[in-house]
Amino acid sequence: MRFGLNKIIIIIACSLLLPAMTHAQLKPHLGETSRKMNTAIDAMESGQYEKANHIFREIIESKVPLPSEMPYYFAETLFRIGQYDNSANFLNKYLEINGFKGDNYDAAKMLEEKLIQPLSAIKACSYCDRKGYRYLTCSTCNGAKSLEQACNVCKGKAIVGCSRCAASGMVTKKNVFNIMEYYECDRCEGKGRLTCHACEGSKIVHSKCRTCNGSGTIGSDELCDHLEHKH
């Protein structure tokens, strides 16, 4: 009887401990996240913003809940390395989450002011996309926006057979006596051929470049300096 009672006590204890153990196993390892964030902040303080950027991205990719102050530090880091659009996105997220209660609220508002000029420069620049990355000349069409190729309709001959007279130059028609008569084709003037309508006799056609979708440029990961680059 005593053995049975002990067994019941053990079962009850296990049933109470198991949910707690399971919860502990599922709980994100926030201590590691905080450690990484502090390492990134140390890198920022020593001017190693690329290193800080790398660490912050590792934290984001880990899919764990982010410390509430991290969006500000990441926004500051992105500003320092010239990724102004991304910086503004994380800064807005920080202010949205924390509002004026955030530990870095004043610094965040200062960063918001500093972002006005570079974001305006990006918006006004025709050499980069809206995120500030420079457009490069398309290597497929060399900026021409289209590609030149032999006409597929006339096979590069500039002429095509007349469809009305089947390229014979003559058309037939029965008269009132049901007798077949032959007439010169008025469409091709009896030549049996016409100038190719696709290439207009040039033997070549231009088609929109598929690489750049006819824009002449492609995106890149190069931050734009908003200056014209002469080749």
Give the β-pairing of 136-137 and 193-195: unpaired
pLDDT, mean of residues 169-193:
84
Same domain for 94 and 38, yes or no, is yes
- Regarding whether 117 and 60 lie in a shared domain, the answer is yes
Report the distance separating Cα 221 and Cα 17, nearest Å: 52
Residues 118 and 213 in one domain: no
Same domain, 14 and 95: yes
CATH code of the domain covering residue 120: 1.25.40.10
Higher pLDDT, 120 or 15: 120
| CATH label of the domain that carries residue 192 | 2.10.230
* pLDDT tens-place string over residues 80-117: 999 999 999 999 999 999 999 999 999 999 999 999 99
Answer whether residue 50 shows pLDDT above 70.
yes
Q: What is the mean pLDDT of residues 208-224?
A: 91
Give me the domain span that covers residue 40.
Answer: 2-124
Do 215 and 171 contact (CB within 8 A), yes or no?
Answer: no
pTM: 0.64
Same domain flag for 144 and 72: no
Category of 64 on φ-ψ map: left (φ > 0), alpha (ψ -120 to 50) or beta = beta
Q: How many domains does the chain have?
A: 2
DSSP code string of 95-164: HHHHGGGSTTHHHHHHHHHHHHHHHHHHHH-SSB-TTSBBPEE-TTTTT-SEEEEE-TTTTTSSEEE-TT
N- to C-terminal Cα separation, the chain:
94
- For the record, the structure tokens of 34 come out as 């905080």
Judge whether 223 lies within some domain. Answer: no
Which has more confidence, 207 or 2?
207
Instruction: Give yes or no: residues 19 and 95 share one domain.
Output: yes
Do residues 149 and 96 both lie within one domain? Answer: no
Residue 1 has pLDDT above 60, yes or no: no
Mark whether 107 and 151 lie in a shared domain: no
